[in-house]
Amino acid sequence: MIKAPGLRIFVVEDDEWYREFISYILSLNPAHEVKSFASGKDLFKSLNENPDVVTVDYLLPDTDGVSLIKQLKELNPEIETLVISQQEKVDKAVELLKLGIYDYFVKSDDIKEKLLNAINNIAKNKELKSRLYKLEEEVKHKYSFQNTIIGNSPPVLKIFSLMEKASGADLPVLITGETGTGKEVVAKAIHYNSKRRQAPLIIVNMTTIPKELAESELFGHEKGAFTGAIASRPGKFELADKGTIFLDEIGEMDLQIQAKLLRVLQEKEFVRVGGTKTITSDCRIITATNKNLLEEVRKGRFREDLYYRIYGLPIELPPLRHRENDIILLSLYFLHNFCLENKMSEKTLSSDARKKLLSYSFPGNVRELKSIIELSALLCPDNEITASGVQLNPQQNISSILDEEKTLDDYIQQILKYYLNKYDDNIQLVSQKLNLGKSTIYKMIKENKAFFEGHK
C-alpha cells in the first residue's frame, strides 16, 4: 500500500470565508502544510517556496484562472493545479485541462470530498514518482560504465569512451569480443544510460532458439499459426517497442531469418507468423558476436547488407590477456564481493598467487577469472589465498596461446614475462632457464616498457 506523503499546498481565493474553508479542509491532514493567498500577485511572491499543489479560484481580483495557470506552468510545470469555480463552465474547464491542470471543481456541497480525494491522489502520485526516481538512480548507478566494466587499463578506458558515445546516440551498436568478455553487460549499460532507459530492454540469445522457432520468437505468432500455437503471442521486437532489443550471438542466425530481420530494421514493421496485420516497432538494436562477421560474409553465412545495417557503432571488447593491468584489480573485486555475499571473512591474495594469475592467459576471459577467484575463496582454509590455492588449467592455457595469431617476437615477449613473474624478476635465473643473454632480456624490457611494466 502506498503511503501518501505530506504536501505543501497553496490556496488562492479572494473570498475570505471560502479561503479559510478550503484551508481548513486541507489542514485536516496534519502532514500537509497549507498557506493561503487572496490574490495571484500574493501567490507569485511566495512561489519560491516551491509548493506541490496550488488551488486556484477561477475569478480573482487581479487575474483569471487561464492567465494564472499559464504563468504557473511557465515558472514551474511540476506544480499540480486545481481550479475551483463558482459556476460550471464546460468550455473553460476544457481549456484549463488542456493547459495541464489536475482537475476542475465547482463550488458545491460535495467540494470537501472531491478536494480531499484529488489531494490524496496527487500525494500518492508524488510518492510513486519519488520511488521511480530512486529506482532509476539505482539502475543508473548499477549500470554506470565504471561499475559495468572494472578496470583502468588503456583498452578499458577506450571502451568507456565508446559506451558513452553509444549511450548518447540512437544508432545500432555491434559488440564483438571473445566469450566471457562482457558483451551483455556492455549492452545493458548502453541501454540504461540512453534516452530509452525507461522502456524495456529485451535480450535474445540466438544460440538458445531452435531454427524453426526463430521467426516466431522474434516477430510473434497468431493463434493456430502452427502446431502448438494455442494462443497469439507477441514477439521480442513487439515487446521492445520504444526500448532496446539486444540480439546476442547474431552470427548464429539463419540466413532466412537474417532476410526478415533486415526488412524489420529498414521498415520498422513486420507481420506475426500466421497473421496479416502489420505491426510497427520503434526499437534500438544492439547486437553481439564472438565471430568475425566479415569472414562470415565472405563465406556466405551472413548477409552483407545486414552486416552494414547492424554495424553502426562497433565496440570491440579486448580479451583479458590484453588487459593485464586489470587482472589483479578484477580479482580483488570478485574476491571482496564473494566474501561479502557469502558472509565470509575478508580474504586477500598473496604475492605468489597474484603472479600465478598474471602468468595465465584466461581463455575464458573475465567470466573464467571470476570462477577461479570464487572457487579459490571457497576452498581457502585461511584468510590468504596462496598460489597453490589458485587452480588453473595449464593445458587450456597453452592451447589458447598457440591458437592466437601473433608474431614470433610477441610470443617471445609473452614467454619472457611469464618467466619473470614466475621467478620474481630474477634476471640471472630467467637468463639461465631460457638460455637467453641478460643484455638481451634488459634490451627487450627497455624496448617494450608498457608490456613489461613493473620490471627493471
Torsions phi, psi of 108, nearest 5? -145, 180
Q: For residues 291 and 248, is the Cβ–Cβ distance under 8 A? A: no
What domains can be seen in the chain, in order of their start residue?
8-138 (3.40.50.2300), 147-316 (3.40.50.300), 320-392 (1.10.8.60), 405-456 (1.10.10)
Cα–Cα distance for residue pair 283/203, rounded to 1 Å: 12
Q: For residues 177 and 316, is the Cβ–Cβ distance under 8 A? A: yes
pLDDT of the residue at 412: 78
Q: Which residue is associated with the grid cell 583498452? A: 155
Q: Is the dihedral of CA 51, 52, 57, 58 positive or negative?
A: positive
Cα–Cα distance for residue pair 107/109, rounded to 1 Å: 7
Nearest to 361 by CA among 328, 412, 416, 398: 398
- In sequence order, the β-bridge partners of residue 284 are 244
Mean pLDDT by 10 residues, the chain (456 residues): 72 89 90 89 87 87 81 87 79 79 85 88 83 63 70 89 93 94 93 92 93 92 87 94 96 94 93 93 96 94 96 94 89 92 92 91 90 90 90 57 66 79 79 82 81 60
pLDDT of the residue at 395: 47
Cα–Cα distance for residue pair 454/436, rounded to 1 Å: 20
Dump strand ranges (E) for 272-339: 278-280, 284-289, 313-316
pTM of the complete model: 0.62
Q: Is the dihedral of CA 60, 66, 71, 75 positive or negative?
A: positive
